[in-house]
Amino acid sequence: MEPSAREPLVRKPSSTYRTFPGSAAGRLDKEYLESLRNKRLYLAVFAAVLGNFNFGFALVYPSPVIPVLEAYPVPALKLDPHKASWFGSVFTLGAAAGGLSAMVLNDRLGRKLSIMFSAVPSAVGYALMGSAQGVWMLLLGRVLTGYAGGVTSASIPVYISEISHPGVRGMLGACPQIMAVLGSLILYALGLILDWRWLAVAGEVPVLAMIVLLCFMPNSPRFLLSQGKEDEALRSLCWLRGKDTDYAREYEQIKDSVRKQSRRISCAEIKDPFIYKPILIAVVMRFLQQLSGVTCVLVYLQSIFKKTAVILKPEYDAALVGLVRLFSVAIAAVSMDKAGRKILLFVSAGIMLASNLTMGLYIHFVPPSHNGTTTNETLVSSANHDAEPTNYITLIPLLATMFFIMGYAMGWGPITWLLMSEILPLKARGVASGLCVVVSWLTAFMLTRFFLPVVENFGLEVPFLFFAVICAGNFLFTGCCVPETKGRSLEQIESYFRTGRRSFMR
């Protein structure tokens, strides 16, 4: 049997790029993929994405905490609007720093050890927030958990992409987003029953579970080969694929690919379209992903709902939105290897555009007595009172937010992470993934830091109308610049950017 776990099932001969020539290549690829034992692969992915669970948990920690600390009886911990905006946004500064660190860590320590390293600042950060005696401890804890999130954002998608095969790479590539969403949902749910200090303590649990499980997982075969550790790479692939499979053929294919890109990237090589085009696509996607407003919505979710006075209590609204987000990203995981990446990106951008536009127009045109907004009132200070809804029309902000999160979770959430790990060339993957994370979280910092001042000075509708314009840009960018990678091996994707021949991607 001549397998190729790096190649998709090929139905048409001759016109398609194949690692193994001959008319039986499609049949052989199918036989190999069906022979694989994926249980250990799934276990390795689960161990890694616990880092994303922790990331999602930490990201939305301010959502239930800010309303509590606004009215906290201890002056040293009480948040005013200025401190609240820093509490919500400083996490993203830490994430940007983590992305910078990942540029070095990914190539020096490897993907797995980089993920394990993130557990240290994460555990310390939660400990600081759980035992906080002043706002500075809360802010430092947010920075440290953000730093850990930045490292995992750059390392986990690459690790998953490099240990997976085309048959499940799309589904597994959505797992980081699924677990981040699940982490946020668990945070919202626990926020209904736990004090804010115990929420921080609860954040330690997935961190400890992740580091224990990863101790027993292998490193990426591609990383090991890039370090000259051929025997260890072969053992890693054997563990992931199963002893009774013809994994040696896949190993030779990976080895050949790594050999072609064994040198580190130089400044001169950045001018090569093979290098700069995929990096530029990945960076712009992460930039547009954040400009669509998702981080602002998630971080200030309960406060937004209090501002618009939806019928349900804001904490229940937040949990409901988290549940919808989880359901939507699960749909994306199932659909990604069937419908394709681009069609989901189009659908996602369209839903987000409609949702943001609906939210902005609702806030602008519905009288304040119906939507709960008041002139010259900050979003944070509005959390100090509960406006009584007078009409079922106040369900519109909840539904608009639910559809926005659903649209994001179906496409621009998980697929942006997946494409980053798929299209980046191997020799630049560590540095470029870190660059993507830095751009993403610096953008998120600017948005979350100035979201509250913009709302105070111009109204809540302004940021949502801005997000709607960006979502229209996402739609156009997908159509013009994003390649379809469904069912393609990493080698085929690299060949597409190297040669520009679309036949490699058919």
Q: What is the arithmetic mean of pLDDT over 358-375?
A: 68
Per the CB < 8 A criterion, the answer to whether 48 and 206 are in contact is no
Pairwise pLDDT comparison (13 vs 418), residue with the higher score: 418
Per the CB < 8 A criterion, the answer to whether 394 and 372 are in contact is yes
DSSP conformation class of 410: I
Of the ranges 144-153, 383-392, 409-418, which one carries the lowest mean pLDDT score? 383-392
d(CA 174, CA 334): 9
Backbone angles phi, psi at 191, to 5 degrees: -65, -20
Confidence (pLDDT) at 483: 80
Burial of 132: CB neighbours in 10 Å, binned 0-12, 13-18, 19+ = buried
Pairwise pLDDT comparison (491 vs 7), residue with the higher score: 491
d(CA 377, CA 382): 7
Pairwise pLDDT comparison (295 vs 25), residue with the higher score: 295
Which is nearest to 33 in space by CA: 266, 329, 250?
250
- The pLDDT tens digits of the residues spanning 424-449 come to 776 676 677 778 878 888 898 888 88
Q: Would you place residue 141 in the very low, low, confident or very high pLDDT band (cuts 50, 70, 90)?
A: very high
pLDDT > 70? residue 151:
yes
Q: What is the arithmetic mean of pLDDT over 351-360?
A: 91
How many CA atoms within 13 Å lie on the side-chain side of 109? 17
Of the ranges 103-112, 159-168, 304-313, 451-460, which one carries the lowest mean pLDDT score? 304-313
- The pLDDT tens digits of the residues spanning 171-199 come to 787 788 788 888 988 998 898 888 999 99
Per the CB < 8 A criterion, the answer to whether 112 and 217 are in contact is yes
d(CA 493, CA 7): 11
Please give the C-alpha separations between residue 201 and each of 58, 198, 387, in angstroms, as whole numbers.
11, 5, 32
Confidence (pLDDT) at 5: 41
Please give the C-alpha separations between residue 127 and each of 69, 193, 499, in angstroms, as whole numbers.
18, 20, 51
Helices (H), 215-340: 221-226, 230-241, 247-260, 273-291, 294-299, 301-308, 314-339
- The pLDDT tens digits of the residues spanning 54-66 come to 999 998 898 888 8
Per the CB < 8 A criterion, the answer to whether 155 and 50 are in contact is no
CB neighbours of residue 29 within 10 Å: 25
Per the CB < 8 A criterion, the answer to whether 424 and 494 are in contact is no
CB neighbours of residue 34 within 10 Å: 11
Pairwise pLDDT comparison (386 vs 245), residue with the higher score: 245
Instruction: State the average pLDDT for the chain.
Output: 78
At residue 387's C-alpha, the angle toward residues 381 and 388, to 5°, is 170
Per-residue tokens: 325: 């987000």
Confidence (pLDDT) at 322: 74
d(CA 208, CA 1): 42
d(CA 295, CA 146): 13
Per-residue tokens: 294: 């998702």
Pairwise pLDDT comparison (30 vs 292), residue with the higher score: 292
pLDDT > 80? residue 4:
no
Please give the C-alpha separations between residue 212 and each of 51, 64, 286, 425, in angstroms, as whole numbers.
12, 29, 31, 31
pLDDT > 70? residue 321:
yes
- Residue entry with tokens 């058919």: 506
Q: Would you place residue 489 in the very low, low, confident or very high pLDDT band (cuts 50, 70, 90)?
A: low
- The pLDDT tens digits of the residues spanning 374-411 come to 433 444 444 444 444 446 677 788 888 888 988 888 88
- Buried-exposed string 417-446: b where 16+ CB fall within 10 A, e elsewhere: bbbbbbbbbbbbbbbbbbbbbbbbbbbbbe
CB neighbours of residue 367 within 10 Å: 9
d(CA 370, CA 393): 8
Q: Would you place residue 352 in the very low, low, confident or very high pLDDT band (cuts 50, 70, 90)?
A: very high
Percent of all residues in the chain with a pLDDT value above 70, rounded to a whole number: 79
**Single-letter code of the amino acid located at 313:** K
Burial of 201: CB neighbours in 10 Å, binned 0-12, 13-18, 19+ = middle
Pairwise pLDDT comparison (470 vs 453), residue with the higher score: 470
- Residue entry with tokens 């990942």: 102
Confidence (pLDDT) at 26: 40
Name the 3-class secondary structure at 434. Answer: helix
d(CA 64, CA 155): 29
Confidence (pLDDT) at 13: 34
Q: Would you place residue 131 in the very low, low, confident or very high pLDDT band (cuts 50, 70, 90)?
A: very high
Confidence (pLDDT) at 129: 94
d(CA 448, CA 295): 7
d(CA 425, CA 403): 34
Non-local CB neighbours of 249 within 8 Å, separated by 6+ positions: 2, 3, 4, 32
Q: What is the arithmetic mean of pLDDT over 6-10?
A: 38
